[in-house]
Structure 1
Amino acid sequence: MKALVLAGGIGSRLFPITHTGAKQLIPVANKPVLFYVIETLVDAGVTDIGIVVGGTQAQVREAVGDGSAMGARVTYIYQEEPLGLAHAVLIARDFLGDEDFVMYLGDNFIVGGIDALLRKFHAEGPAAEILLTRVDNPTDFGVAELDAGGQVVRLEEKPKNPASHLAVIGVYLFTPAVHEAIDAIKPSPRGELEIVEAIQWLVNNGYPVGSATVDGYWKDTGTVTDMLEVNRSVLETLEPCTDGKVDEESEIIGRVRIERGAVVSQSRIVGPAVIGAGTVVRSSYIGPSTSIAEDCVIDTSQIEFSIVLNGAAIEGVGPIEGSLIGREAHLTRSCLTPRASHRFLIGDHCKVQVAP
């Protein structure tokens, strides 16, 4: 079995961060979301992985390499334009050949792995299997209608009157029958080859399409809110350790990981939190659910429930919460007043002055 991982989207809901970086490489607990996807596949025994890339392909290639560091063998497939999930399968046909495969969206996060899903697929032998989760807002998703045996009867994208609260999420299992379906469908009104339409074609033509429901944790990390929530969830599982230097005037409370080369002085860190290698935290407060990446500087500042990317500096600013700070961004204190709580979405290489 092979895997097809989609990592070519532009991530418009995460602008300006994704103006300069791939959304799949934004870190959760200091590890890119895409790495969690690859590790999930490898843990399930799927090591032959094709990654569909677009305009950020250089960054993805540099980060993932040939996949060997994660136990995978990676092939890159270039998609000139994001023309739909089914289009990604179409251009990957040479890589996929006549094998069954799992398609996994590179910005989706699932706790608990996909081993059980693969076992179910192999045991029952449908033409396709989709992964579902119950949501409160089904009008925002592709929605599945099932029969009494759990077989898919109908799929509808963002329906006005949803037939169920079962949303289709970003993991799909296919046999080669899906290629016939994709050849038979036409682009949707938005100009894309929709995977939902390909699956519906299979249903309409008598192919069995199964389903499995995720009872655990799932998130599409396409928005800042969801990214911060996933970061919080992963940090809750953190094993605390102190490989960096912490002076006697600092206080470390709860699940905190301080990576090798980090230096913490005259500061208070309340977990769950992670401080990346080479980062300096000085006279500051780092609150719960916060990830500080490598080579950052946090000086005389306060921050919690946030993600700070590589090389950023925050000096004399706070309190900050619910924020995503880009690579090499620099936040400093200005001489203006009044002081207030701050919330940021700051792109890479920005410089921001904040009232003290």
Structure 2
Amino acid sequence: MNIIIPMAGMGKRMRPHTLTTAKPLLHVAGKPIVQRLVEDILATSNEKVEEIAFIIGPTFGKEVEKHLVEVAEALGAKGKICYQHEALGTAHAILCASDTLDGNVFIAFADTLFDAKFSIDKSKDAIVWTQKVEDPSAFGVVKLNANNEIEAFVEKPKDFVSDLAIIGVYYFRDGAGLKKELQRLIDNNIMLKGEYQITDAMDHMLQNGVKFYTDQVQEWLDCGNMAATVYTNQRILEIKQKTEKLTAASATIDNSVIIQPCFIGENVVVRNSVVGPHVSLEKGAVIEDSRIVNSIIGVNTIVKNANLHTSMLGKEVNYSEKPREMSLGDFSTQI
């Protein structure tokens, strides 16, 4: 099986954190988003993954490319870098990895993490993963027939069609067949709002007899903006605390309290502080005289005399809050 990870977006909603780091390489619970995504995919199948193609923008840089290849190789697969030079939609992005569209193919967009206990049924033509949502009008959804096969893909329905939202994770038994459908969109200039969409390709496949099925994830975790990423960090810590070692042996905890679950990276120093729950401290971070809750603190960042919650600090940040003089009379309230 091959895996394709489109991740060429600039991550504008995550600025300033994506000004120097590609969004899929931002960390949640101690690992890059894209690494957690690939690990979760591999956990769904006993089949060997031959190749993982990462579709990136041409300006991401050699360091990012090297890191992505290392992620693939660490998981026993060949890493391949493909470029999307223009933001022309999901179908165009996937087609940038045309050489990888062969045989069984799993596709997942890199700003999506999920909590799921499923296995890929390789006998099915195609599977589209979904999650039930309260307001389907904001999503692309699938409509099922009486046999629980997908009979239609509907983009942001104004009237209720289904509450099964497409989360951006797909399996295709015939990658070469998908490639032909994606190329058909390009050749015939079939676009929606100036972009080539994978749902248009899937709709045409559906009309030509390809059977699509859906499988649901327990939880769909978005990393599209800062607040969503901090929440995803919280949920990943809760999910992984029983299966992953989240505190490095090299960390120094001095006169401090760690309220689990937290990720404490290599050579982290925590002094005279209370950290947690739901905090990730990346490699080399230093926390002194502080209280931190539900936050992500980046590599080699120093935090002193601070009270932080629902926050995200990048790498090499130096943050401190100045002590204040205070004079409050009886029965005062300071907010």
Post-superposition Cα deviations, 1:31-90, rounded to whole Å, max 9, x if no partner, equal 111111222333323242111111325343232334222222111111112321111222
1:337/1:166 Cα in 2 relative to 1: closer, same or farther (>3 Å)?
Answer: farther
- State the secondary structure of the residue aligned to 1:233: helix
1:224 maps to 226
1:209 to 197, 208, 212: 212
1:225 is displaced (CA, Å) by 2.7
1:4 maps to 4
Q: Distance in 2 between matches of 1:240 and 1:311?
A: 26
Q: Distance in 2 between matches of 1:224 and 1:263?
A: 28
1:158 to 152, 156, 165: 156
1:190 maps to 193
Q: Distance in 1 between matches of 2:314 and 2:93?
A: 29
Structure 1 position 25 matched with structure 2 position 25: yes
1:264 maps to 253
Q: Distance in 1 between matches of 2:159 and 2:191?
A: 20
**Runs of 5+ unmatched residues, structure 2:** 327-335
Which structure is higher in RCO with an 8 Å CA cutoff and minimum separation 6? Answer: 2
Q: Which amino acid aligns with 2:229?
A: M
1:342 maps to none
**Aligned pairs (5 A) from 1:224-303:** 224-236=226-238, 237-239=240-242, 257-303=246-292
- State the secondary structure of the residue aligned to 2:195: coil
- State the secondary structure of the residue aligned to 1:258: coil
- State the secondary structure of the residue aligned to 1:40: helix
1:58 maps to 62
Is the 1:41–1:47 Cα contact (8 Å) retained in structure 2?
A: no
- State the secondary structure of the residue aligned to 1:150: coil
Q: Which amino acid aligns with 2:196?
A: L
Q: Distance in 1 between matches of 2:325 and 2:141?
A: 49
1:112/1:224 Cα in 2 relative to 1: closer, same or farther (>3 Å)?
Answer: same
2:82 maps to 77
2:320 maps to 332
1:275 is displaced (CA, Å) by 1.4
- State the secondary structure of the residue aligned to 2:316: coil
Structure 2-normalised TM-score? 0.87
Q: Distance in 1 between matches of 2:143 and 2:242?
A: 41
Q: Which amino acid aligns with 2:148?
A: G
Q: Distance in 2 between matches of 1:112 and 1:304?
A: 27
Structure 1-normalised TM-score? 0.82
1:134 to 121, 132, 141: 132
1:245 maps to none
Q: Distance in 2 between matches of 1:337 and 1:148?
A: 70
Post-superposition Cα deviations, 1:203-231, rounded to whole Å, max 9, x if no partner, equal 233332222222x1221221223222222
Q: Distance in 2 between matches of 1:111 and 1:59?
A: 29
Is the 1:24–1:32 Cα contact (8 Å) retained in structure 2?
A: yes
1:20/1:159 Cα in 2 relative to 1: closer, same or farther (>3 Å)?
Answer: farther
